[in-house]
Structure 1
Amino acid sequence: MVLLLAAFGIVLLGAFAQAVSGFGYALVTVPLLAAAIDPRSAVLVSALTGIGLTLVAAVRERAYAQWRVAAALTGTALLGLPVGLLVLAHAPERMLSAVIAVVVLGCVALVWFNARIRTGRLGLGMVGVLVGVLTAATGTNGPPLVAAFHSLGYDPRTFRATLAATFSGTGLMGLAGFAATGQVHLDVVRTALIALPAVPLGWWLGNLLFHRIDPVVFRRIVLVGLLGSAGAALVSLAG
């Protein structure tokens, strides 16, 4: 019961961060859930609880999304998805926990320094493949997209909407891959169902603050928290 309550609180925090900043759901939920349950289940619970959030956000913000860019990224993500599924299915738990922590730290660095990348066809294609790998292996596929959309100069509304549109496509592909490879089991589904009500609650609370909080300040707060959680995970694994 304690673990299930912890999962509810973690999902609530992730949904809140996603609503305010446009990203952060998986970056918050996966490392914290990995510490509370296990890394493989953490990726699956985050994917199962987060897909509704992104679908609803994509529909609501559809007028602001750059759908051609989202479709191109989703299509190329399909190329990287099998690699991520292999990592999730066969990596030992300690190794998977370490991979998640390292990826989170790398993602934090990308977002913290407002990284920019080449956004031509080749650049976006490479981002899409990387997003596909991360979607299945760690669930933390947002920061490469954040770097790409910063480079494209999107305003906050377009930024959040296009992220939601891309997350929707890659999230559905990821869930299909998890199901096809037999990764989804009863304990994961039960945990996801108990944590699921936290998603609309966290989004509602975050959306109330979306226009009232400095997104740069909030992003820094989220990133510092992520640094702490990923660093603590690496220390515990080393110990």
Structure 2
Amino acid sequence: MTDLLLVAVVAAGVFMLAAIAQAVTGFGSALVAVPLLTLVVHPVTAVVAATAVSLVLTTGAAWRERDHLDAGTVRILTVAGIVGMPLGLVLLAVADESSLQGWIAGSMLVMVVLVAAGARIGSRGLPVAGLVSGALLTSTGMNGPPLVMALMDREPRRYRATLQAVFAAQDVVAVAAFAVLGYVDGRVALVSAAGVVGIPLGWRLGDAVFHRIPAARLRPLVVGGLVLTATSMLITAYS
């Protein structure tokens, strides 16, 4: 199997798993995808490709569930996220591969622990959650946890629909910024294309679970797996 074919096969499988996590918990596609992709591609490629695939995934989900989203909250979190994106782009530009991998793993661990602990952000904290999510999106591809903490108290369908709409809106801006800054190359395109192939089946499987089993029963398992992944990635980055 050639290197490019291996990367494509791995990417398709990774994004299928990422879509399952996204459908079940409302977030998690990048938390699953970025650390696993760094096993076969450069961290920058992983971040950019994960954001591009997330744009496809979340746009489709937001459109399907548009009747359940909170438009006012989407606007606040999106605008604040755009303001925070330049901070993440600076980090992406100046960090070397090992440092960036360590930052991704460390950020992932902190965010997953906060979500697992039930940390919440009130309505007054929406702009802060949006700002942090934007900075994390353009540096790690993982903008979900701050948004989850801001929205997790809402009715499940409203929570998931609003979250997907914010992801989609932020991803549009982030992908455009990556393209302008020259981060979109042939390998990013390959990983993204393979990822798009993997997400329909993943979302279908995850959506079936979402409607049949309470997310609270599955979230501890998802969080546990993500913690193990991040810990392994952190050890690899600094070994």
Q: Which category of TM-score, normalised to the shorter sequence, fits these structures?
A: over 0.9
- Asked if 1 retains the 8 angstrom alpha-carbon contact of 2:102 and 2:238, the reply is no
Give 1:78's aligned amino acid: I
Q: Residue 125 of structure 1: CA displacement? A: 1.2
- Asked if 2 retains the 8 angstrom alpha-carbon contact of 1:22 and 1:159, the reply is yes
String of CA shifts for 1:41-97, please: whole Å, max 9, x gaps. Answer: 110111111111101111111111001101111011111111111111221010000
* 2:236 aligned with 1:228: no
Provide the residue aligned with 2:113 in structure 1: 109
String of CA shifts for 1:131-151, please: whole Å, max 9, x gaps. Answer: 11011000110000111113x
- Asked if 1 retains the 8 angstrom alpha-carbon contact of 2:15 and 2:33, the reply is yes
SS in structure 2 at match of 1:35: coil
1:1-239 mapped onto 2 (5 Å cutoff) = 1-120=5-124, 123-150=125-152, 153-239=153-239
String of CA shifts for 1:138-180, please: whole Å, max 9, x gaps. Answer: 0110000111113xx3010000000011001101010011011
Give 1:60's aligned amino acid: R
Q: Moved runs in structure 1, 4+ residues, more than 4 A?
A: none
Give 2:140's aligned amino acid: T
Task: Note the residue ranges of structure 2 that are not aligned, 5 or more in a row.
Answer: none
CA–CA distance in 2 between the matches of 1:212 and 1:126? Answer: 33
CA–CA distance in 1 between the matches of 2:100 and 2:128? Answer: 23
SS in structure 2 at match of 1:36: coil
CA–CA distance in 1 between the matches of 2:122 and 2:16? Answer: 34
CA–CA distance in 1 between the matches of 2:58 and 2:228? Answer: 26
Q: Residue 234 of structure 1: CA displacement? A: 1.1
CA–CA distance in 1 between the matches of 2:6 and 2:233? Answer: 20
RMSD of aligned alpha carbons: 1.1
Q: Residue 215 of structure 1: CA displacement? A: 0.8
- Asked if 2 retains the 8 angstrom alpha-carbon contact of 1:50 and 1:199, the reply is no
TM-score, normalised on structure 2?
A: 0.95
SS in structure 1 at match of 2:118: coil
Aligned residues: 235
CA–CA distance in 2 between the matches of 1:159 and 1:78? Answer: 21
Give 2:178's aligned amino acid: F
CA–CA distance in 2 between the matches of 1:17 and 1:238? Answer: 28
String of CA shifts for 1:72-128, please: whole Å, max 9, x gaps. Answer: 1101111111111111122101000000001110111111011012321xx211111
Give 1:165's aligned amino acid: A
Q: Percent identity?
A: 39
- Asked if 2 retains the 8 angstrom alpha-carbon contact of 1:89 and 1:183, the reply is no
CA–CA distance in 2 between the matches of 1:214 and 1:149? Answer: 17
